[in-house]
Structures are given as structure tokens and as C-alpha cells.
Structure 1
């Protein structure tokens, strides 16, 4: 199972680059997100206490036994379960894509990300618009990342991001504007991720039971491990 910990390491590296700060100790991993939704503590052994002030705990298979009962007794409630998935990397049909290389494309990347994940009536949409723009501009030149953008008739329409750690290639920010869904754009971007990861491990995370999980299963991804979340009531 510890061989699969490298998939979590890739995800944590992405979070550190795009969502906040990640601090590791022998007892656990503290993720302090730019938004509280991304903040959590991950135990790495069964015989430690939850740090004071922790509002969300994320479990991984090597957290040890008994955590779910302990967290429930402490008032935490089950929340979403992330499934870490993996698919064979390698050749894929289609024309190879080039990652974005300009500030203009980075801003377009963030525009698609905002439009795909948040509605204009979301109370936090403006905060996220600025935050995602800042992250795209900061990261698109990073040597461990490739940000991809597809346009339709010149309009930014679909995006994804590939984040590399050693021989693990993580897929993040798979998003298409609502008006352009159903055209195979995300599949084209996933094909590029397969090409980029040739010779390595291709991974992503998805909410268990979601339509996205069913899609990735159809595309050949397989579950590797589950990561249940527990949160204190607001």
C-alpha cells in the first residue's frame, strides 16, 4: 500500500502549489488551504490525537485502524469520499497538444475554471475568480506542471492540468464551460495527459459515487484507494 502513497504525494504537491500550505510531521499531514474547504489533517498513524482546532480529517489506508469510530465519537460527521484512481498511460488518439505559454492563455485557463465550477450567483465567485487567476499565472511556467487549454472558434472552452512528481502524473482541473460540454473536449485533454505520462503512473481523484467517477471508470481508470473525509458540523 505504501507504494500507492506516491499518488497522495502528488495530490499534496498540487495542493501546496495551488491551494495553500502542506506541513508534514511523523504523526500526520496538515493541509492549510486558501479556502477552509481545502483544509484538513491527515493522520499517518493510529496512536496520535487530533490536533486542537482541527475541523476536518481526511483518512488514508495507512492512517491506521479505528479512526472512523474515534472521529464519530469526537463529533465529526462523514463527508465526501475521494477515490484515488489510476489509468494506463501511453499513446492516445488525436493530435498532441502544447501547454499554454502566455499570460493571456493563463488568464483564459482561469476563466474556464471559474465558469465551469462556479455560477455567477455564487457568493464567492469573485474571490475564486481572482484566486484562480493568480494561481494560473503563478504556475503555468513551473517545470513540474503543464496547463492545457482548448478553444472553440477562438473562445476558451475546456482545460486540464498535469502535475508531475517523480514518475507520477496527476490530472487536475478537468473543466469545460457548460455551453461546450458533450463535444469530447475533456476526452481530448485526457488523451494528452496519457501521452505526457507515458512511462509513468497517471492518476486523479474524484468524489465517490459521482458522475465523474462513472465517466473515469468508463475511460479505463481503476480505483486504487479511498480517502474518507470527516468534518465537524458548522
Structure 2
């Protein structure tokens, strides 16, 4: 991979498994969650273009590929009609992983992740999934997921390959 210009970095990722305790989905005025379709694809892309994901140039191609694949389901959270946050579920049989959780900077710190997690926990139960996983990107995010019923069960080394821009380690710094 290096001979083709890729940079590699090894990241220790905590692995969390959902305990079955559902996130509290306190109803809030103006918050709506919807599956991403062709009609709202661009609005979700706007959310997923956050700097932490490398910006639009980095995320756009992967997002389009995920959207086209039947094992990925993206959700868009709106606040008073405006796109604010997104989340993806990746399904591998009965195993489902939460991925690509993003919130636009103007909406951070408002507890939107709790609404999304409550929603996808309900979807997971409806799908008949066996295990719901998440691999948080840092200790702070790990604590957030813990407060929504995810328990850390171990750590896995994760090798991240990327062509350009900053790596995850650089973005964390």
C-alpha cells in the first residue's frame, strides 16, 4: 500500500457492545430523525463533510459507496428542519455496528447523539439484530457511548490507510 502512496497509522480502538439498556430518548421539539434517501442525500453529505472526517473531498466518495450498499443505513437528524447530525449503521448478518457519527459544529453539546442512539437502538431491535457494536474514536466519545448503554469489552488495533490529508492521529492532536 505504501508503494501506491498510502500512509498507514495504527490506532488502538476501544470496542463497545450495547448492553440492551436503551438510551433515553427524551422527546424534544423540533428534532426529527429520518433514513437517508436520494432526496436528503446531499443534506446528509453536508453533515458528514465535517473536518473530523477529513472534509467533503475525503468523505464524499466513501459516503456515496456506503449509501449504495444495502448493508449500510444512514440516518439524518434535523433540528427545526435543518440538518444537524448523522449516523450510519453497518450490518453484517445479525451483527450491527454504529459508524460515522457526525454533528455539525453549531449543534454540538446539545445531546443530539442521545436521540440518534435511541433511534438506532429501536431500529436494531426491530431488525432482530444480535449484537450492536461501536468503536469510539477517543476516550471522551467512549464515555458518551457508555452513558447510552454501551459497555467497553476490549480494544483492537486498527490500521487506517489513507491517501491524503490528515490521519486520525493528526486530527486527534
TM-score (normalizing by structure 1) = 0.54
Q: Secondary structure at the match of 1:191?
A: helix
Unpaired stretches in structure 1, ≥5 consecutive residues: 1-30, 40-55, 58-79, 119-124
Cα 1:89–1:164 change in 2 (3 A) is: farther
Kindly state the Cα deviation for residue 190 of structure 1 after the two structures are TM-superposed. Answer: 0.9
- Which residue does 1:86 correspond to in 2? 17
Cα 1:222–1:107 change in 2 (3 A) is: same
Q: Secondary structure at the match of 1:172?
A: strand
Q: Deviations along 1:207-233, whole A, 9 cap, x unmatched?
A: 45x2101111222211122124689xx
- Which residue does 1:175 correspond to in 2? 102
Partners in 2 of 1:171 and 1:160 — Cα distance? 7
Kindly state the Cα deviation for residue 165 of structure 1 after the two structures are TM-superposed. Answer: 0.3
- Which residue does 1:47 correspond to in 2? none
How many pairs align?
151
- Which residue does 2:76 correspond to in 1? 149
Q: Is the 8 A contact 2:24 2:148 kept in 1?
A: no
Q: Is the 8 A contact 1:101 1:141 kept in 2?
A: no
What is the aligned-residue RMSD (CA, Å)? 3.2
Kindly state the Cα deviation for residue 150 of structure 1 after the two structures are TM-superposed. Answer: 1.3
Unpaired stretches in structure 2, ≥5 consecutive residues: 161-173
Higher strand proportion (structure 1 or 2): 2
- Do structure 1's residue 222 and structure 2's residue 158 form an aligned pair? no
- Do structure 1's residue 188 and structure 2's residue 115 form an aligned pair? yes
Q: Which has the larger Rg?
A: 1
- Which residue does 2:37 correspond to in 1? 101
Kindly state the Cα deviation for residue 115 of structure 1 after the two structures are TM-superposed. Answer: 2.4
Q: Describe how 1:24-43 pairs up with structure 2 within 5 A.
A: 36=6, 39=8
Cα 1:106–1:135 change in 2 (3 A) is: farther
- Which residue does 1:67 correspond to in 2? none
Q: Which has the higher contact order (CA 8 A, sep 6+)?
A: 2
- Which residue does 2:163 correspond to in 1? none
Partners in 1 of 2:66 and 2:109 — Cα distance? 28
Cα 1:116–1:154 change in 2 (3 A) is: farther
TM-score (normalizing by structure 2) = 0.71
